[in-house]
Structure 1
Amino acid sequence: MSLNRDVAEVLKVIHAPDRPAWDTLSPEGARASYMAGRAATAPEPMPVAEVRDLSIPGPGGPIPLRLYRPAAAPASGSPALAFFHGGGWVLGNLNSHDGVCRHLAARAGCVVLAVDYRLAPEHKFPAALEDAFTATRWLAAEAAGLGVDPARIAVGGDSAGGNLAASVCLLAREAGGPAIAFQLLLYPATDFAMDTPSHADFGEGHLLTRASMAWFRDHYLNHAGEVADWRASPLLAASVAGLPPAYVLTASHDPLRDEGEAYARRLVEAGIPVTL
């Protein structure tokens, strides 16, 4: 499959000589660069009926949340999505994915709860996952007060957020709850080994490079041994049986493509309904 012409033009801008690669910057510098890029490329935000900032207690301090309620969502019994943003566990926040969350809420007609989990390297693995799981449990526990149907709670995210969503489903299964009805995995990172053909084929000249992936990994994980921890690499879980149905989206020219598709295959082999 050839690279889309418009995408190729965007990549030229991203890799312009005056735009340093993330892995050459400090986390603070990379965050500023990432936010500037998001502002330049984000579509016009879709209107929703309600946007409300919240905060809940977390294992490492307060967890900021942002709730989106579209006009189509009923005042009670609405489906809901806990959403975890991408950014390599180092970048991103509630504002970086505001447009994405508005779009999902408006088009799906569901409440979206965006989670501003702790970032690395200030807070290394498993801090982000602990916050994501805490927020998901809170959403289930407070469902009635939020006008949410506790039987229709989904989790989702893009890239690093897809990694967190997949791992939250595994944690919820191990803990006996909360019940999760669906997982939305957008080009998820599922294996920190980073040894698939797509990592080799698209590790240079595209959005993610091998160097930037290693930079994210080394900021997030405490040591190399955690690569094999299923909480970090959900593809390596001993079993994926009993997990919720999934929608898995991958991109053709993406280092994460093969591991996302491998995770989808594992789910299918376990008898779980999957749209890839």
Structure 2
Amino acid sequence: MLWTLLAIVALIVVATFLLFRVKDLSEFDGNEWAVKEVAPNPAHDEVLSRIKDMGRASKGLKGKARLIALRNHLDSLGEDVEVTSEIRHNDQPRGEWVIAPGVDTRRRVLYIHGGAWAAGSPRSHRAITDRFSQLANAAVFALDYRLMPEHRFMDGIRDCRQAYTWLLAHGPDGEEPADFMVVAGDSAGGSHTLSLIAWVRDNGIRQPDAAVALSPSTDLTLTAPSNRDNIRTDPLLGPVFGGLSKIPLPVLWWGTLAAFRISPTNPVASPLRGNLNNLPPTLIHASSTEMLLDNSTRYAAKARAEGSPVELHTWQNMVHVWHIFTPLLPEAEEAFEDIRAFLEQVEISKAAKGQL
């Protein structure tokens, strides 16, 4: 009996090694990135209170009921936001146009919302998409991609790919080619964003002029140090995902494979582990205290090493995707102004090269 058990364990260990082959990426740790210091502000306490409200909304619930409560609470965040943009529903691809007054609709942003691939919607992220339309002088298409667990992870990936190719040739008023194209997303949507720009490159499709990823997930292997080191300093992700630190990583990899139906080492799900050469200008934002910090630092360091123009800007002690708390948080406004400056610099560089 003992020998049988040992044989099974050995078989699992060998299968884990052969299937996942998780490459050590610690060589991309240790880079020093400038951190924008943040002064104490009463708005920070208000944000923490709102995050606690999110936890209370699903307290005591389990399974599908808990997920539905979380989704409803996230959507309510968007309903309370005053937007200046016109909102237009779109059926195929499914999503909504967010159009600030007077913007050039030949300039477009594909926005891919976060929510751990299981929650969130265009409605929940209107605070972000409204500001994006203003700062980019563009029509924003907020994609309502298919979520887990009702759908497979790859269904959401396919929705992103379809939306991008459609957006190159369609604006809010019908068929019209795009003059300037941006792909952006936060958290899980940031992962989809980085995965998408690699797919666009590999398939010979017109690249976006720029990409923006806010607190992105880039590596589902969870091997980056901040996934464990920043649990206590991340008030949003820590309480939800901190318990995963008690589970051995190989067990988590098998669990991810079962839930996502894709290996956590596959670049489609973990863009950090793919080829990061020849990507468009990309801006990444992250907080110094969030669990996904090293997902951003490793991606930026590896992309730069492989020759892609990727910038990483970090803020001190901000919550995960603090941008959604605009205009309450002054740091959210700073972050949007940083995005505006980045996109303006992209256009200046392209104009100098005669590409605009």
Note the C-alpha offset of 1:22: 8.0
Q: Give a deviation string over 1:66-92, Cα, whole Å, max 9, x none.
A: 1122223135xx321100100000001
SS of 1:254's equivalent? Answer: coil
How far off its partner does 1:236 sit? 0.2
The residue aligned with 1:229 is 266
2:304 maps to 1:274: no
Separation in structure 2 between the aligned mates of residue 72 and residue 17 of structure 1, nearest angstrom: 35
CA distance in 1, matches of 2:180, 2:60: 39
Q: Which amino acid aligns with 2:241?
A: S
Alpha-carbon distance between aligned partners in 2 of 1:273 and 1:192, rounded to the nearest angstrom: 23
Q: Deviations over 1:219-264 (max 9, x none)?
A: 8964686101100000000x21111110100012211111112111
- Aligned to 2:212, the other structure's residue is in SS state strand
Q: Distance in 1 between matches of 2:192 and 2:78?
A: 24
**Residues 220 and 269 of structure 2 are in contact (CA less than 8 Å); yes or no, is this contact kept in structure 1?**
yes
**1:91 & 1:220 partners in 2: Cα distance?**
19
1:182 aligned to 2:219? no
Report matched runs for 1:127-138 at 5 Å: 127-138=155-166
Residue number among 73, 84, 87 corresponding to 1:36 in the alignment: 73
* CA displacement, residues 31-77 of structure 1 (integer Å, 9 cap, x when unaligned): 423432563588732302x3211111xxxxxx4111122223135xx
1:73 equivalent to 2:109? Answer: no
- Which has the higher mean CA deviation after the structures are superposed, 24-33 or 262-271? 24-33
Unaligned 5+ segments in structure 1 are 57-62
SS in 1 for 2:91: strand
d(CA) in 2 for partners of 1:105 and 1:46? 11
Map of 1:55 onto structure 2: 91
Instruction: Give the Cα separation in 1 of the matches to 2:75 and 2:145.
Output: 19
The equivalent residue for 2:241 is 212
Given that residues 147 and 153 in structure 2 are in contact (C-alpha distance below 8 angstroms), is that contact kept between their aligned partners in structure 1? no
For 2:153, what is the secondary structure of its paired residue? coil
TM-superposed CA distance for 1:7, in Å, is 3.5
Shift, 1:193, TM fit: 1.1
Larger radius of gyration: 2
Post-superposition shift, 1:16?
7.2
Between the two proteins, the alignment pairs up a number of residues equal to: 266
TM-score normalised by length of structure 1:
0.82
Q: Is the 8 A contact 2:95 2:143 kept in 1?
A: yes
Task: Determine if contact 2:108/2:138 at 8 Å carries over to the other structure.
Answer: yes
Which position in structure 1 is the counterpart of 2:188?
Answer: 160
Letter in 1 for 2:98: Y
SS of aligned partner of 1:112: strand
Secondary structure at 1:19 match in 2:
helix
Structure 2 residue matching 1:228: 3-state secondary structure: coil
Aligned partners of 2:78 and 2:124 also within 8 Å: no
Shift of 1:192: 0.4
Q: Is residue 243 of structure 1 aligned with residue 279 of structure 2?
A: yes
Determine whether 1:96 maps to 2:94.
no
Question: Could you tell me whether the CA contact under 8 Å between 1:121 and 1:220 is conserved in 2?
Answer: no
CA contact (8 A) 1:82 1:156 kept: yes
CA contact (8 A) 1:82 1:113 kept: yes
8 Å contact 1:83–1:157 — kept in the other structure? yes
Structure 1 window deviating more from structure 2 (18-27 vs 78-87): it is 18-27
Question: Helix, strand or coil for the counterpart of 1:36?
Answer: helix
Alignment match, 1:64: 94
For residue 117 of structure 1, report the CA deviation from its aligned partner. Answer: 0.3
| Secondary structure at 2:263 match in 1 | helix
Task: Give me the identity figure in percent.
Answer: 25
Shift of 1:271: 2.6
Find the counterpart in structure 1 of residue 297 from structure 2.
Answer: 261
TM superposition shift of 1:13: 5.6
The change in CA–CA distance for 1:47 and 1:235 in structure 2 (over 3 A counts) is same
Judged with a 3 Å threshold, the aligned counterparts in structure 2 of structure 1 residues 119 and 33 are, in CA distance, closer, same or farther, namely: same
Task: Verify the 8 A CA contact 2:75 2:121 in the aligned structure 1.
Answer: no
Distance across 2 between alignment mates of 1:219 and 1:4: 38
Mapped partners of 2:215, 2:261: distance in 1: 23
